[in-house]
Structure 1
Amino acid sequence: MIRPVSELVASANAEVETLSASELHVALQEARSGGTPLTLVDIRDVRELEREGRVPEAIHAPRGMLEFWVDPASPYHRAEFAREGRYVLFCAGGLRSALATKALQDMGFGPVAHLDGGFAAWREAGGEVVSPFMQGN
């Protein structure tokens, strides 16, 4: 029997840090004023970024490459994941980012959290969105 994805997400959410859009906004403000550095990581597919826009400060790491980009031993490792500070992942609605955050946590990467409700919650809370997606981010 296949374990429903809803159970996987619930299990991940029970084990990872989850931030609301307002909590993320506060963490970003603190980071900008000299607090713990924070890197936002958008794991949505590039087509979603093109269609919906993006968060200006976020780096883009497609879900399918995330673990490879994070792992320093991987030939695909990206320097963006060697920064000091906290990482906050988000997707469209908070499901993929919960699973991705759990995967990174299982790898020993962190501190890492995810945005509850994802990009939709960010937008609904009045978070800045830039559209269309610009290459290089």
Structure 2
Amino acid sequence: MAKNHSQRFLDIVDDAKSRVLECTIQDVKIRKEEGEEFLLIDVRESHEFSTGRIPGAKHISKGIIERDVEQLIPDASTLLILYCGGGFRSALAADNLQKMGYTQVISMDGGYSGWKAAGYEIESGS
């Protein structure tokens, strides 16, 4: 289901991506397989998260991440990998977390849809 994003939205995503480190879904899969320590954060909306997610992901939706992140993840040097549906909202959230002082934030390009399309394991909703 392709999204028809507005040009203004794409412009702010491109702006955020100019400051954010990105990785691929394959990078995340390898990091997980190698046992690398990081927090995988799903920034999609609650209804999206409840239908399925990448195993081990924690949910902090983009709408509240700036408000709640310091209480949930007080160590600003924690390695965080954020994902959304395709990689746009996670880039916006990653940009804001960096502005808040988080020093190791990565946005996963391709998001949940790319992970699922690659045939990687997913957790079903509850």
| Structure 2 length-normalised TM | 0.86
Instruction: Give the equivalent residue in structure 1 for 2:61.
Output: 62
Gaps of 5+ in 1: 72-76
**Cα offset, 1:112, TM superposition:** 0.5
Please list the CA deviations of residues 51-75 of structure 1 after superposition, one character each: whole Å capped at 9, or x if unmatched. Answer: 3x1112100001111011223xxxx
* 2-structure distance, mates of 1:26, 1:82: 26
1:129 aligns with 2:122: yes
* 2-structure distance, mates of 1:10, 1:47: 26
Instruction: Give the equivalent residue in structure 1 for 2:97.
Output: 104
Instruction: Give the equivalent residue in structure 1 for 2:40.
Output: 40
State, as a whole percentage, how many aligned pairs show the same letter. 32
- Of the three residues 81, 86, 97, the one matched with 2:79 is 86
What secondary structure sits across from 1:41 in the alignment? strand
Greater CA radius of gyration, 1 or 2?
1
**Cα offset, 1:101, TM superposition:** 0.4
- Of the three residues 30, 52, 62, the one matched with 1:26 is 30
Q: Is the Cα contact below 8 Å between 2:94 and 2:106 reproduced in 1?
A: yes
Q: CA RMSD in A?
A: 1.7
Q: Which letter maps to 2:54?
A: V
Instruction: Give the equivalent residue in structure 2 for 1:115.
Output: 108
- Of the three residues 7, 11, 14, the one matched with 2:11 is 7
Please list the CA deviations of residues 100-122 of structure 1 after superposition, one character each: whole Å capped at 9, or x if unmatched. Answer: 00000111113000110110111
| Structure 1 length-normalised TM | 0.79
Gaps of 5+ in 2: 1-6
